[in-house]
Amino acid sequence: MTKVHTIGDSHCDFTFTSEGDSIFYLSDEGIINVPLTTHFVGSQTMYSFGIRGCDDKYFADMKEGDYLVFCFGEIDVRCHIDKQVTKEKRELDEVLSKLVEGYLLQIKKIAKKYKVIPVIFGVTPPVRELTVDGYPSVGPAEARVKYTKRLNAKLKKSKILYFDVFDEYSMADGTLKMKFSDGVMHIGKNYNQMAKDKLCALILRRL
């Protein structure tokens, strides 16, 4: 049976798991369960993943034809992009283009090596204000919303399968709906069914 794997920072876990280890969809035969495994690689940025990837151990249980959902970028938006634009005086488009270029190359390299079907999960809406110590946030919320939208637009243009849940989980100002969150910056595990449904719909179109 085809399996689904997510890999990335903590969003790969919060967004796609709850109490079970599968996602499901409805078919003419009833409820079909698709096994899902998350591979949390730590607080890794999209930038560093694009440069060095991650340890081979995370791919050990993947089989040919499995789906692999890449979940990186929230940390880049929250902590790094604003500094590059405002302090280093780099053009936003140049920053994002370089970020996406390395990311896509690494994704294609991994997909070819492990014969998996790659899927890009777009960056989730940024939180307006972090109230928990230990989680840095750089730049005003309005800027981080802009960075997220621009980054997702570039990712969507790739020929790799793509989906995001920005509209479903954002308020009118583009920041994360805290009522659907974990109280920090993640989509809460009790509120992630819309994300799992979107992933299922994407897979169904290919079955």
In whole numbers, what is the pLDDT of the chain averaged over residues? 91
Residue 85 has pLDDT above 80, yes or no: yes
* Domain boundary assignment for the chain: 4-204
Give pLDDT, residue 26.
Answer: 47
Distance CA 110, CA 53 (A): 8
Contact 17, 26 (CB under 8 A): no
10-43 pLDDT, tens digit each: 999 999 986 555 565 545 555 567 778 899 999 9
Architecture of the 4-204 domain = 3-Layer(aba) Sandwich (3.40)
